[in-house]
Amino acid sequence: MSPNNDITTSSLQNIDNNGPLLSLRWAEDRLFLLDQRLLPEHIEFLELTTPEEIWDAIASMKVRGAPAIGISAAYGVVLAARIYDGEPSGWLAHVTKAAEYLATSRPTAVNLFWALNRMKDRAALLAEEQPEIETRNLGLMAEAVLIHQEDEEVCRLIGEHALPLFESGMGVLTHCNAGGLATAKYGTALAPFYLAKERGIPLKVFADETRPVLQGARLTAFELQQAGIDVTLLTDNMAAVVMSKGWIQAVIVGTDRVAANGDVANKIGTYGVAVLAKAHGIPFYVASPLSTIDLSTATGQDIPIEERPESEITESFGKRTAPVGVKVFNPAFDVTPHEYVTAIITEKGIVRPPFNTNLPALFDK
Ligand SMILES: CSC[C@@H](O)[C@@H](O)C(=O)COP(=O)(O)O
């Protein structure tokens, strides 16, 4: 069934003809979450009302992409607080425990911990200043909404800073999905493509399909096509050939965590793309909100890399595609060493090497 035949009433409210499909929406005391596992075949929104449901949606990648999982987890804390029916003296411990539980859903994207820390800090202040549980819960709600709204603005700014890097007619390769679906709106790596479209600047986007769970094919190709952006889908092993043909003038990807020295964790396969870009003299850009920069992690070697179930590799296209019992290695992310990164584009502007001094400077401004 084509996606357009399958759009439900609730999803229609999320489609704005000039922009991307929104992956998250808070309404009616619940989180409406676009189930990204079902794309591009079905556009279906889940209605989540408990922290356990949010934990499961993050762990099973119904919601994915660093900023989107941070926002979802923040709403998870709101839902946990609303369930609390004890004395005001136990409220903070309950909320903190819920945040710690939500933090166990996925290990690599630092936005998850960043958002949960913000919620915990807010909860601590509210517990100090507000005697009423209801007022505290409203305060937590306001913080989650702020995290959500700020992300949209941050993504738009990343797009504004990145756009001048791309000239009219350029071919730009991206890996995984760092688009509107992975964020509140616009995305990080895909934000300049939306702005280019708005301003009539033609770009040719090449999307790697991104094995094993195909975020490039299912999500990036889908959302760019929906927005009328010129996108060509490639399998991951075609990146070298399109670069050698001279079709790619830049690479831009998102990230799950940037270490203090500029090493970048992103979807498995990103490192290979960066090495290929260097071999072909093509700039390799990383779009990253400040919330994804983790100065407390010294280098990429210190970033925890999630390993996902073997079935993501042994079962594809709805059937078994590898022998039963074969050994499998399935890391969800890799680390691109900073020497392959031409620049990191943030909401505060473009950061170039040396990253170990230029990244901390971003937080002083
Ligand atoms: C703006 S999203 C940045 C990253 O989170 C994205 O590139 C990515 O690697 C997502 O991985 P996923 O496993 O789909 O959550």
| pLDDT score at 261 | 98
pLDDT at 316 over 90: no
Going by the DSSP 8-state scheme, the letter that residue 109 receives in this structure is -
Q: Which of 100, 104, 97, 142 is nearest to 122 (CA)?
A: 142
- Buried b / exposed e along 29-43 (16+ C-beta atoms within 10 A): ebbbbbbbeebbeeb
| pLDDT score at 20 | 61
Higher pLDDT, 18 or 349: 349
**260, HSE (Cβ side, Cα atoms, 13 Å):** 10
Q: What is the mean pLDDT of the chain?
A: 94
Mean pLDDT of 40-61: 97
pLDDT at 6 over 90: no
Residue-wise pLDDT tens digits, 268-307: 999 999 999 999 999 999 999 999 999 999 999 999 999 9
Q: Residue 326 and residue 315: Cα distance in Å, rounded?
A: 12
Q: Residue 175 and residue 251: Cα distance in Å, rounded?
A: 9
The 3-state DSSP class for residue 163 equals helix
Q: Distances in Å between the alpha carbon of 328 and those of 17, 291, 313, 323, 324? A: 42, 32, 8, 11, 11
Mean pLDDT of 106-111: 98
Dihedral angle, C-alpha 258, 285, 237, 325, nearest 10 °: 10
Q: Distances in Å between the alpha carbon of 31 and those of 51, 54, 108, 203, 329? A: 10, 9, 23, 35, 34
Q: Which of 235, 316, 253, 250 is nearest to 66 (CA)?
A: 253
Residue-wise pLDDT tens digits, 207-263: 999 999 999 999 999 999 999 999 999 999 999 999 999 999 999 999 999 999 999
- Please tell me the pTM assigned to this model: 0.94
| pLDDT score at 317 | 81
Q: Residue 188 and residue 287: Cα distance in Å, rounded?
A: 5
Lining ligand 1 with CB less than 6 A are 64-67, 109, 176, 178, 182-183, 187-188, 215, 254-256, 266-267, 332
Structure tokens that stand for 297 in this block:
């992690």
Q: What is the ipTM of this complex?
A: 0.99
Name residues whose C-beta falls within 8 Å of residue 280's C-beta, 6 or more positions apart in sequence: 243, 244, 248
The active-site residue out of 151, 256, 294, 334 is: 256
Known catalytic residue: 302?
no
Give me the helices (H) in the chain, please: 9-12, 51-59, 66-83, 91-102, 110-129, 133-162, 191-198, 215, 221-226, 239-244, 270-279, 311-314, 355-362
Binding site, annotated residues for substrate: 64-66, 106, 215, 266-267
C-beta of residue 249 within 8 angstroms of C-beta of residue 242: no
Domains contained in the chain, CATH given: 3-156 (1.20.120.420), 165-362 (3.40.50.10470)
Strand-pair partners of 234: 208
Ligand 1 pocket mutation pick from 176, 211, 257, 346 by most atoms within 8 angstroms of CB: 176
For helices 91-102 and 110-129, the axis angle rounded to 10 degrees is 180
Residue-wise pLDDT tens digits, 187-212: 999 999 999 999 999 999 999 999 99
pLDDT at 72 over 60: yes
Mean pLDDT of 111-133: 98
The residue written with tokens 């702020």 in the block is: 146
| pLDDT score at 183 | 98
Question: What is the distance in A from the centroid of ligand 1 to the CA of 64?
Answer: 6
Q: Indicate which atom in ligand 1 lies nearest the CA of residue 66.
A: 5
Question: What is the distance in A from the centroid of ligand 1 to the CA of 52?
Answer: 22
Residue-wise pLDDT tens digits, 145-154: 999 999 999 9
Question: What is the distance in A from the centroid of ligand 1 to the CA of 147?
Answer: 18
pLDDT at 314 over 80: yes
Mean pLDDT of 318-333: 96
C-beta of residue 283 within 8 angstroms of C-beta of residue 359: no
| pLDDT score at 21 | 81
